[in-house]
Amino acid sequence: MILKILALGDVVGPAAVEKIKNSLWGIRREYKLDFAVINGENAADGGGMDIKSTQILINSGADVVTAGNHTFKRREIREYLDDTREVVRPCNFPDEVSGNGYTVVNANGYDFLVMNVMGTVFMEPLACPFRSVEKILARAGKYDVSILDIHAESTSEKIAMSHYFDGKIDIMFGTHTHVQTSDARVMPSGSGYITDLGMCGPENSVLGIKKEKIIEKFLMHTPVKFDVADGEIKLHGAIFEYDTDKKRTVSARLFEY
């Protein structure tokens, strides 16, 4: 049995949420997808995660929504994270922080372990991402397919994690930098991997933000409001094919819609 898994990059703003709402179920049918995971840490208007946009992503066809460094920008999300199995935040936050760093979700008769971890290079000094993921693998129990969202700034950190967990985690992908990389591949021990999925957001922008605002920031070095850009929304990510008999990923390719 070949399972087809879609991973979509960071959702930026309400217009991107609306595009997913209007298209994801159709994409799932067109590509005969068995599972979909989306990084939703910037889906809310003004950044961060809110309950409304997160629930729209789930109702629109996302089996799991992952997060990142902007997870807790809005206080409303904290209690919600404790009450849902469909949303995970980085597992290397302190244990006292709301939410969970992994979940196991059943889809089409298969159990999918989905984990989320945050890098520490150029980011928050959280617990070691390598050791934090190892702890999940040791206690997660029974599952059929394992998936890891590495939300990190440094490409070297993401690539190092992919080699460390090659053959131990079935599908790994990077998020956070909002630019799709061209290295979707199956690694030597059978893990599917891409350094960054890219983003779901406005094409004519700087990482989803109005380009004029970002240029002003670079030129003037003074505070600016990061407004989400207008214009055409593109969805970027990757599609992985997992062979349940061989117990390995057999295909990894870029996705754009």
Residue 184 pLDDT:
98
pLDDT at residue 217, rounded to an integer: 93
Can you give the three-state secondary structure of the chain, one letter per residue? CEEEEEEECEEECHHHHHHHHHHHHHHHHHCCCCEEEEECCECCCCCCCCHHHHHHHHHCCCCEEECCCCCCCCCCHHHHHHHCCCECCCCCCCCCCCCCCEEEEEECCEEEEEEEEECCCCCCCCCCHHHHHHHHHHHCCCCCEEEEEEECCCHHHHHHHHHHCECCECEEEEECCCCCCCCCEECCCCCEEECCCCEEEECCCECCECHHHHHHHHHHCCCCCCCECCCCEEEEEEEEEEECCCCEEEEEEEEEC
CATH top class, domain 2-202+232-256: alpha beta
Residue in 70, 176, 178, 236 annotated catalytic: 70
In this prediction, residue 52 carries a pLDDT of 96
Q: Which residue has the tokens 């990757």?
A: 238
Closest CA to 25 of 62, 72, 61: 61
Q: Tell me whether residue 55 is exposed, middle or buried, using C-beta atoms within 10 angstroms of its C-beta: 0 to 12, 13 to 18, 19 or more.
A: middle
Mention every residue, 6+ apart, whose C-beta is less than 8 A from residue 232.
Answer: 202, 203, 204
Predicted pLDDT of residue 38: 98
Q: Does 70 qualify as catalytic in the annotation? A: yes
Domain ranges in the chain?
A: 2-202+232-256
Output the pLDDT for position 91: 98
Q: In the prediction, which pLDDT does 245 show?
A: 97
The C-alpha atoms of residue 58 and residue 131 are separated, in whole angstroms, by 29
In the chain, % of residues over pLDDT 90:
98
pLDDT digits (tens, 9 = 90+) for 115-158: 999 999 999 999 999 999 999 999 999 999 999 999 999 999 99
What pLDDT does residue 143 have? 98
pLDDT at site 209: 94
pLDDT, residue 97, reads 96
pLDDT given for residue 176 in this prediction: 98
Q: What is the pLDDT of residue 8?
A: 98
Cross-strand partners of 5: 35, 240
pLDDT tens for the chain, residues 1 to 257: 999 999 999 999 999 999 999 999 999 999 999 999 999 999 999 899 999 999 999 999 999 999 999 999 999 999 999 999 999 999 999 999 999 999 999 999 999 999 999 999 999 999 999 999 999 999 999 999 999 999 999 999 999 999 999 999 999 999 999 999 999 999 999 999 999 999 999 999 999 999 999 999 999 999 999 999 999 999 999 999 999 999 999 999 999 99
168 close to 162: Cβ distance less than 8 angstroms:
no
